[in-house]
Homo-oligomer: A and B are copies of this chain.
Amino acid sequence: MSTATAQDAGNAHDGGASPAMTERVLEAVGVAIASGELPPGSRLTLEGIQQEYGISRTVARDTMKVLESMNLVYSRRRVGIVVQERRLWNVFDPKLVRWRLASDRREIQYSSLTELRIAVEPIAAAGAARRASAAERAKLTSLAADLRRLGDAGELEAFLAADIEFHCLLLQSCGNEMFLALEGMVAEVLTSRTRQGLMPFKPRPEALDAHEDVAAAVAGGDATAAETAMHHILDEVRNAMGLH
């Protein structure tokens, strides 16, 4: 441990300086592909990856298998590992979403995700109105009240946290497992909207009203009203995106 680490490169059969080397390599190659540094059609070889990252064949293979399963690459004998065209990527894989948000093509990913939110959240609200548990309905109502309070007080960080909780709770309680899987992405979009100020963000009274309307409609089991109210929340976003 202490001194003998003269050769930190990690090829000294020590299993890797940091744990989970395979993940580090996956991350590195994934980011390179997602960012466009390795454009579609680029060719890699296991040999090359081994050398570049100082790893064994096994780890290089594992990494490529995962990338292949995400449809980021395909591999053919005698040819090597080829980066797929973008059209075929599994763009719903959270890892890929993360990599793309970290790249300088972030904007495309954000607008895709935002449009997805616009599509999904109203239906999720309607689903929640039909299927949420009593506890979930109560929690939504209390979160809407929190939002009002924090918004009026101008506590943006706490407001953001509550906002994320509100939207994620809707996705959870709507009873659609596929919507639930979008939780992390919605949280990411909301966070970035506040932090980076990509969209003008100042809790407008209309938005606060609309959150309360959603909560009330869900509490009352009125699916149509919940859907409409959620549409109102997202209208602001739609306008900011130049849609509508």
Chain A residues engaging chain B, CB cutoff 8 angstroms: 22, 58, 61-62, 65-66, 69-70, 86-87, 89-95, 108, 112-113, 115-116, 118-120, 122-124, 126-127, 130, 176-181, 223-224, 243-244
CA distance A22 to B86 in the complex (A): 25
Contact across chains for B127 and A115 when beta carbons are under 8 A apart: yes
17 A-B pairs in the complex with CB atoms less than 8 angstroms apart: A22-B65, A58-B61, A66-B69, A69-B69, A86-B177, A87-B180, A89-B181, A91-B178, A93-B93, A115-B123, A115-B178, A116-B176, A116-B179, A119-B122, A126-B244, A127-B243, A224-B244
Contact flag A90-B91 (CB < 8 Å), given A115-B123, A126-B243: no
Contact across chains for A93 and B95 when beta carbons are under 8 A apart: no
Q: How far is the CB of A103 from chain B (nearest CB, A)?
A: 14
Contact flag A112-B178 (CB < 8 Å), given A93-B93, A118-B123: yes
CA distance A11 to B62 in the complex (A): 21
Closest residue on chain B to residue A114 by CB atoms: B176
Contact flag A123-B130 (CB < 8 Å), given A58-B61, A94-B90: no
Contact flag A92-B122 (CB < 8 Å), given A65-B62, A70-B69, A176-B112: no
Contact flag A90-B181 (CB < 8 Å), given A65-B62, A115-B127: yes
- Add 7 more A-B contacts to A66-B69, A115-B123 (CB < 8 A): A22-B65, A65-B66, A69-B70, A69-B93, A69-B95, A86-B177, A223-B243
Contact across chains for A115 and B176 when beta carbons are under 8 A apart: yes
Question: With a CB–CB cut-off of 8 A, which chain B residues contact A22?
Answer: 65
Q: How far is the CB of A95 from chain B (nearest CB, A)?
A: 7
Contact across chains for A92 and B61 when beta carbons are under 8 A apart: no
CA distance A22 to B62 in the complex (A): 12
Most chain B beta-carbon neighbours within 10 Å: one of A89, A120, A122, A176: A176
5 closest A-B pairs by CB: A92-B92, A119-B123, A66-B69, A112-B178, A119-B119
CA distance A75 to B244 in the complex (A): 47
